[in-house]
Amino acid sequence: MITIPYKHKMAAHCESGSITSLLNNAGLDITEPMVFGISSGIFFGYFHKMKSFPFPTFIVRNKPGKMRENLTKRAGIKFHTYTFKDPEKGRQMLNRLLEQNIPTAAQVDFFYMDYIPSWERVHINVHFIVVVGLNTYHYLVSDSYFPELVSLKTESLNTARFAGGNMSPKGFLFHPEFIPKDIDYEKAIIKGIKKSCFNMLKIPIPFLGVKGIRLFAKKIIEWPSLARDTEHLSHEIMKINILLEDQGTGGGGFRFMFATFLQQAAGMINEPELLDFSKKMMEIGDGWREFSLLAARFGKNRDLGPERMKELSEKLMDRAQVEQQFFSQLYKTIK
């Protein structure tokens, strides 16, 4: 039986949370919003038709894995990473790392995390947990979405690490390898902000960034024609609330976490203008939350006629407008 001493803490998001928790436990004092901001976590993408999704959906953060990669590029923190073709080798490596007392993050299919209530669990291959112990039948797991350390059946973790499908984890593992003594936070923060602005404004793809929010606004009108029935439409409309509030965003589709990052950054790099941006971003997040609560209410009341869809669409157009303005101003200020 192995139990690595590990300070578990809930976090808003699984990837930024597991990275932060690994770094904190390795002795680096860094917050989740700082990890999120430096790694340009904030984003938007709308997917109207994709092979992997049975219904249109959207994302509010950058591509899974990018947070870790960007943190390495910008703050010099190196992680040891592993992927496996053979599940047995993947299992052995995780156990070996635990035997060496190395808390190790694993990419998994969220569906098999059976300590999470069933209504939350969906097949999504990009959940991150930190494994901190092992006995004959269970792993000991630190999951940002759960208040305390939990046991997970070895069989469940092995299945979750090697689930197939879109963004299959392939047994992916990582742990910190090198943490610089003096991180140049100023450089890392500025780079993180610039890239966030670029991602929101300048990617020449019509469904990404602010353009993606506008596309979502246009396409949500079509959602009723794509649903099986009213209950299905209600479910999908209410899922907007899950994606913006519950699915590890820290609320308001990560906008509250980004506001917190800007506030912390203002103090760290002595850039008071960032405080104003931080306040504006908090207000933008409030607008997203208002939108998501409205969607939940419409869904619950089955109030899903064309007028309501139009109302949601207008709210989204408004979000696109304010974010366009915000990121344009931020880009000019930080340049």
Interface residues with another protein (CB under 8 A)? 10-12, 17, 32-33, 51-54, 111-112, 117-120, 122-123, 144-147, 159, 163-166, 168, 231-232, 234-235, 238, 241-242, 245-246, 248, 250-252, 256-257, 259-260, 263-264, 278, 282, 285-286, 289, 293, 296, 299-300
Nearer to another protein, 98 or 237 (CB): 237
Rounded to 5 degrees, φ, ψ at 327 are -70, -30
Least distance (Å) from another protein to the CB of residue 257?
Answer: 5
Q: How far apart are CA 26 and CA 162, in angstroms?
A: 27
Between residues 122 and 221, which has the closer beta carbon with respect to another protein?
122
Taking the complex as a whole, the smallest distance from the CB of residue 9 to another protein amounts, in Å, to 9
Q: What is the DSSP letter of 148?
A: S
Tell me the HSE value of 264 on the side-chain side, using a 13 A CA sphere. 18
Q: Which is nearer to another protein, 207 or 254 (CB)?
A: 254
Query: 315 with 291: CB under 8 angstroms?
Result: yes
Q: Which residues partner with 139 through β-bridges?
A: 134, 152
Closest distance to another protein from the beta carbon of 256 (Å): 4
CA 181 centroid distance within chain: 27
C-alpha span between 156 and 143 (Å, rounded): 14
In the Cβ-directed half-sphere of 88, how many Cα atoms lie within 13 Å? 0
Q: How near is the Cβ of 286 to another protein at its closest, in Å?
A: 6
Shortest distance in whole angstroms from residue 335 CB to another protein: 25
Contact 276, 290 (CB under 8 A): no
Q: Which is nearer to another protein, 95 or 159 (CB)?
A: 159
Q: Which amino acid is at 22?
A: L
Q: Identify which of residues 162 and 207 has a Cβ nearer to another protein in the complex.
A: 162
Closer of 133 and 252 to another protein (Cβ): 252
DSSP state of 114: T
CB of 298 to another protein, least distance (A): 11
Burial of 272 (0-12, 13-18, 19+ CB in 10 A): exposed
Q: Which is nearer to another protein, 70 or 125 (CB)?
A: 125
Q: Which one-letter amino acid corresponds to residue 158?
A: N
Least distance to another protein, CB of residue 180, Å: 26
User: CA Rg, the chain, in Å?
Assistant: 20
Calpha distance 247→253 (Å, rounded): 9
Closest distance of CB 307 from another protein, Å:
21
Here the tokens at position 119 are 């209504």
Nearest to another protein of 27, 147 (CB atom)? 147
